[in-house]
């Protein structure tokens, strides 16, 4: 009985292995097919906009192609010389960078205190920021508009950074606290024995070891702030950012799609460059966050 059972098991084992390998390869095939199709749908609009930035309106309407007939830089020249896009680019860049600096200045110390010190209110503060991640920006817009009006910020350029910091603080806090909690406490204990102060531990240990988390926060918040339209349009209508300027680039009766495509290329280029420089830290940060989670 035992011999027959062992023989029967040995005969079925290769079949089970073949079925397992077949299912694994089928799942891989479906996964890669989905990713390829999704990538095509994602990349095609970018290539289409890039192609149209070198073409005229007549060429866009008469010929649907990814490769432009000629690489004409007239649209880019018009964007730089006969539009307000350079000013809008400067407004977006200055507001975004100032917002990111102020955001890190606020959330890094708070995340350090919540993650490394035990006090009764710490868990409630972290819970508050965690729940705030799910609050849509549009729901707090009326309250922010009233506060900006009471403080006299409406129509002024740089106070909008406070709105962006309020908007991006919850997700930034959520990510940074998770990263700092994963840092071994033995490093702090060793630093305290060596006579390091709390500030020294924060600047020399916590911030360098949270570098990947900081880069992850910077990329996510950079994209959100750079692409914002509703708050920039509401709070600073006199200082148009790129998104607002693009919305006003078409007239009532006509739209220059070639020039608009060139403007969009200018708008998305900083995000692509920023991501290319930071992608290594972003991948490490995402991997570490997944392991710690």
Q: What is the pLDDT of residue 1?
A: 45
Residue 82 is classified by DSSP as: S
- With a cut of 60, say whether residue 207 has pLDDT above it: yes
- With a cut of 70, say whether residue 285 has pLDDT above it: no
Q: What is the pLDDT of residue 244?
A: 87
The rounded distance, in Å, linking the Cα atoms of 82 and 104 is 37
* Average pLDDT score over residue span 204-213: 84
* Average pLDDT score over residue span 77-86: 82
* Average pLDDT score over residue span 88-95: 90
Tokens of 235: 């709070």
Lowest mean pLDDT among 27-31, 67-71, 259-263: 67-71
Q: Are 171 and 220 a contacting pair, CB within 8 Å? A: yes
- With a cut of 50, say whether residue 293 has pLDDT above it: no
Residue 157 C-beta-side C-alpha neighbours within 13 Å: 14
First to last CA, the chain: 49
Q: What is the pLDDT of residue 99?
A: 93
pLDDT-based confidence at residue 184 (cuts at 50, 70, 90)? confident
Q: Over the stretch 238-259, which tens digit does the pLDDT of each residue have?
A: 888 888 888 877 766 667 778 8
Residue keyed to tokens 């006579």: 195
The rounded distance, in Å, linking the Cα atoms of 179 and 210 is 6
- With a cut of 90, say whether residue 261 has pLDDT above it: no
Q: Over the stretch 97-130, which tens digit does the pLDDT of each residue have?
A: 999 999 999 999 988 888 888 777 777 888 887 7
Closest CA to 200 of 192, 189, 211, 210: 192
Closest CA to 89 of 226, 214, 277: 226
- With a cut of 50, say whether residue 57 has pLDDT above it: yes
- With a cut of 60, say whether residue 135 has pLDDT above it: yes
- With a cut of 80, say whether residue 140 has pLDDT above it: yes
* Average pLDDT score over residue span 153-161: 89
- With a cut of 70, say whether residue 13 has pLDDT above it: no
Q: What is the pLDDT of residue 10?
A: 46
- With a cut of 50, say whether residue 217 has pLDDT above it: yes
Average model confidence (pLDDT) across the chain: 81
DSSP string, 139-205: HHHHHHHHHHHHHT-TT-STTHHHHHHHHHHHHHHHHHHHHHHTS-HHHHHHHHHTT--HHHHIIII
- With a cut of 90, say whether residue 206 has pLDDT above it: no
Residue 137 Cα distances to 45, 62, 81, 133, 170, angstroms: 27, 41, 35, 10, 12
Q: What is the pLDDT of residue 267?
A: 83
Lowest mean pLDDT among 138-152, 206-220, 251-265: 251-265
Task: Please give the model's pTM, rounded to 2 decimal places.
Answer: 0.77
Q: What is the pLDDT of residue 251?
A: 64
Q: What is the CA radius of gyration of the chain?
A: 26
Q: What is the pLDDT of residue 164?
A: 92
Q: What is the pLDDT of residue 94?
A: 92
Tokens of 137: 């920006």
Q: What is the pLDDT of residue 115?
A: 84
Residues 6+ apart with CB under 8 A from 289: 175, 178, 179, 213, 216
């Amino acid at each position: 009985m035992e011999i027959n059972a062992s023989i029967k098991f040995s005969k079925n084992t290769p079949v089970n292995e073949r079925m397992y390998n077949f299912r694994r390869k089928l799942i891989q095939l479906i996964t890669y097919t989905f990713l390829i199709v999704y990538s095509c749908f994602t990349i095609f609009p970018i290539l289409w906009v890039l192609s149209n930035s070198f073409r005229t309106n007549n060429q866009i309407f008469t010929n649907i192609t990814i490769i432009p007939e000629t690489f004409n830089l007239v649209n880019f020249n018009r964007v730089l010389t006969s539009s307000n896009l350079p000013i809008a680019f400067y407004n977006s860049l200055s507001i975004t960078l100032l917002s990111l600096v102020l955001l890190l200045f606020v959330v890094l110390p708070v995340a350090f205190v919540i993650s490394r010190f035990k006090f009764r209110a710490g868990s409630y503060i972290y819970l508050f920021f965690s729940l705030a991640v799910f609050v849509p920006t549009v729901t707090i817009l009326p309250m922010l508009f009233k506060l900006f009006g009471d403080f006299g910020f409406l129509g002024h350029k740089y106070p909008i950074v406070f709105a962006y910091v309020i908007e991006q603080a919850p997700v930034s806090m959520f990510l940074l606290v998770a990263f700092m909690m994963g840092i071994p406490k033995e490093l702090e204990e060793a630093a305290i024995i060596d006579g390091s102060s709390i500030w020294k531990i924060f600047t020399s240990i916590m911030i360098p070891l949270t570098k990947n988390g900081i880069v992850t926060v910077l990329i996510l918040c950079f994209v959100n702030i750079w692409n914002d339209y509703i708050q920039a349009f509401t709070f600073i209508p006199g200082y148009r950012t790129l998104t607002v300027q693009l919305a006003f680039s078409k007239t009532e009766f006509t739209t220059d799609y070639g020039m608009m495509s060139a403007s969009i290329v200018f708008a998305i280029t900083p995000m692509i460059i920023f991501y290319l420089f930071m992608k290594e830290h972003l991948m490490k940060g995402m991997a570490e966050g997944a392991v710690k989670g």
